[in-house]
Chain A
Amino acid sequence: TQLLEQSPQFLSIQEGENLTVYCNSSSVFSSLQWYRQEPGEGPVLLVTVVTGGEVKKLKRLTFQFGDARKDSSLHITAAQPGDTGLYLCAGDSGNNRKLIWGLGTSLAVNP
């Protein structure tokens, strides 16, 4: 069974701090996606990483896919209250898009 472990599960930081969220698995994924979800809404795709070692940047967010395509990280620089939300990673094994989801990291950025 493929599993994705996210850490930390909860994170509460002050505005302006940096943070990193990790997503780890013993399985190889053809791609890995990061989503952000706000209360009462569905997840919204932030980025898809496909190539081992790939780094993608989205403003203050930096996403990295591990060389072996088993793990990924999300780094946020100078966090802002608007970054508050649930961050989810999801791995695509290539099997008809049956995504394997992590449990999420609940981030609270305090002003």
Chain B
Amino acid sequence: GAGVSQTPSNKVTEKGKYVELRCDPISGHTALYWYRQSLGQGPEFLIYFQGTGAADDSGLPNDRFFAVRPEGSVSTLKIQRTERGDSAVYLCASSLTGGLNTEAFFGQGTRLTVV
């Protein structure tokens, strides 16, 4: 596709359940980022992939959060034992190389609501 695509656009889940959020980056982009954004706040960095490997996962809040990018394209953010505090918009972005000053393009986000 022409842009970064995230699915689902909305996800409501019960506390304690497992969820997967998917990101399809722009074709050919080697760098992929996951961010979390709460209402009225700026995005909060979660994890950065360069190719298939997680180059920086220091933003993942705890071990309930995990992300993969097995073939260097599509990425899945996985959240185990969801908590109400996990409710937020999860944004994915990709850039061509991830190098300094390369533009990152964002998807529209997945709004996760944990009830």
Count how many pairs of residues, one from A and one from B, have CB atoms less than 8 Å apart in the complex: 68
A101 at the interface (CB under 8 A from B): yes
B93 to A: closest C-beta gap in Å: 7
Let me know if B107 is at the binding interface, CB within 8 A.
yes
CB neighbours of A6 from chain B (8 A): 42
Question: Nearest B residue to A48 by beta-carbon distance?
Answer: B101
Tally of A interface residues using CB under 8 Å: 25
**Of A30, A44, A88, A106, which one neighbours B100 at CB under 8 angstroms?**
A30
- The count of chain B contact residues (Cβ–Cβ below 8 Å) is 30
- A43 and B106 contacting across the interface, CB-CB below 8 Å: yes
With CB as the reference atom, state the residue of chain B lying closest to A93.
B100
CB-defined contacts of B106 to chain A, threshold 8 Å: 42-44
Residue contact A97 to B104, C-beta cutoff 8 Å:
yes
Residues of B within 8 A of A78 (CB): none
* CA–CA, A27 and B44, complex, Å: 18
- Complex CA–CA separation, A102 to B107 (angstroms): 19
**Which residues from chain B sit less than 8 Å from chain A, CB to CB?**
4, 31, 33, 40-45, 48, 50, 55-56, 58-59, 91, 93, 95, 98-109
17 new A-B contacts at CB < 8 Å, known A30-B100, A41-B109: A6-B42, A30-B101, A31-B100, A31-B101, A42-B108, A42-B109, A45-B104, A45-B105, A48-B101, A90-B43, A92-B100, A96-B48, A96-B56, A97-B100, A98-B45, A99-B43, A104-B40
